[in-house]
């Protein structure tokens, strides 16, 4: 018997079995499906949270490494500037030393040359004096025609030269 039912008719037996089936389905799903699904969601949530935390740590480590590299680069630049400054100072000091040494050597050479010139001048004047004395003696001896001997003539010329003013003598 098939009874036609209207839209407002309620079939209690069908409603009971539908509700009972739904409750059984919920219990079965709760026992076998919801637990693993929730566990899988919690695992996925933990994995994502760990990945985010790991990424934050890696980013912080990368930023720290970057800051350390910048600091090392700055230290290297400062050391380089210091080395350049020290090298320039050393070059300037070496240049000053070389200039002072060259000046001292040139002054020494100039002084040595002056001494040599003075000594050669003294020797030339002494030689000239000796030659002058010899010429004067020879001239005087010819004039005097043997009145004085040679030693007396030299003595006379030496006395004459010693009486000359110091500016003209050597």
CB of 137 closer than 8 Å to CB of 153: yes
Encoding tokens for residue 79? 């050391």
**pLDDT band at residue 35 using 50, 70 and 90 as cut-offs:** confident
- Could you tell me how far CA 5 lies from the centroid of its own chain? 103
- Mean pLDDT, the chain, rounded, equals 85
pLDDT digits (tens, 9 = 90+) for 53-86: 999 999 999 999 999 999 999 999 999 999 999 9
Encoding tokens for residue 90? 């050393």
């Amino acid at each position: 018997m098939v009874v036609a039912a209207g839209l407002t008719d309620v079939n209690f037996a069908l409603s009971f079995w539908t509700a009972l089936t739904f409750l059984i389905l919920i219990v079965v799903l709760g026992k076998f499906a919801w637990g693993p699904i929730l566990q899988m969601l919690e695992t996925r949530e933990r994995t994502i949270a760990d990945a985010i935390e790991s990424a934050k740590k890696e980013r912080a480590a990368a930023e720290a490494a970057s800051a350390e590299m910048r600091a090392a680069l700055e230290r290297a630049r400062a050391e380089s500037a210091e080395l350049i400054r020290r090298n320039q100072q050393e070059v300037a000091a070496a240049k000053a030393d070389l200039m002072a040494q060259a000046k001292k050597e040139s002054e020494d050479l100039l002084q040595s040359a002056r001494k040599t010139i003075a000594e050669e001048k003294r020797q030339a004047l002494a030689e000239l004096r000796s030659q002058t004395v010899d010429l004067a003696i020879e001239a005087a001896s010819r004039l005097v025609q043997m009145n004085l001997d040679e030693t007396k003539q030299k003595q006379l010329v030496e006395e004459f030269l010693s009486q000359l003013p110091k500016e003209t003598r050597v």
